[in-house]
Amino acid sequence: FTLTDQNNTMASSGSGYDLNPSTFSPDGRIFQVEYASKAVDNGGTALGIKCSDGIVVCVEKPKPTATSKMLVQHSMTSKRVHPVSQHCGLAFTGLASDARQLVNRAKEEAANYKDSYGSEIPPKILADRMSAYVHYFTLHGSLRPFGATALIAGYDVDLKEHALYMVEPSGVAYQYHGCAAGKGRQSCKTELEKVLLSSQTSSLESSTVSVTSQEAVKQLARMIQLLQEDSNNKDVELEMGWVSAESGWGFARVETT
């Protein structure tokens, strides 16, 4: 049993290399970030889809009564979808306490942008700033990565465009036609691709998706329902939000009752 064998064993198991996020393993992995991603995978499913007339996001979350019958339903800490500015909103999955800090940071970024430039923050800039903030927590041994993934839906007033972004625990942020995070992400990705590919008029790179926000609300609810049927878990509820032409391009929650 050589020193090289010992290092390889430690690298594959994470032992000795997962004490802080600033340490790389010999094979180039950052275990703390991977553990944070695992925390997201254990959370409820979060979905987002870009439609012809807006963006729709939804999150599956446990009912308060599933934990304790004495909990108050629709309490503030149980919300998974939050407005950030007039035209942008954020949905999250993973550790709710971690994600709450992301929501607060997003609101601060939106307010600071409006104070500095006199206009609402575009979704692209909000996603860039949030990804930089999340990435900062993967660079220092005294900090730990966020165990949450954020979906940002917004409307750019100047460009007259709507966009969907997802910020992951590693600090990367991509723009999406449709995205999924949480425990049901793999099966939901397949369903999202079916919806997008069946409604597009050309290739995805230059597609004009014909699905509307109203249709997307039904499709996302159907996907979450399929997940519940597969897992036989009935103690969950759905929270949705959108920014669309129907809402005057302002971000608003969608009533799911």
CB 52: neighbour CB atoms within 10 A?
16
Condensed to tens digits (0 to 9), the pLDDT of residues 34-71 reads 999 999 999 999 999 999 999 999 999 887 766 677 77
From CA 117, how far away is CA 32, in angstroms rounded? 37
CA–CA separation, 185 vs 26, rounded Å? Answer: 30
pLDDT band at 141 (very low <50, low <70, confident <90, very high): confident
Task: Output 87 or 229, whichever has higher pLDDT.
Answer: 87
- Report d(CA 133, CA 125) in Å as an integer: 12
pLDDT at 253 over 60: yes
Please tell me the pTM assigned to this model.
Answer: 0.89
Mean pLDDT for 15-31 is 87
Q: Residue 75's pLDDT band (boundaries 50, 70, 90)?
A: low
| pLDDT of res. 257 | 59
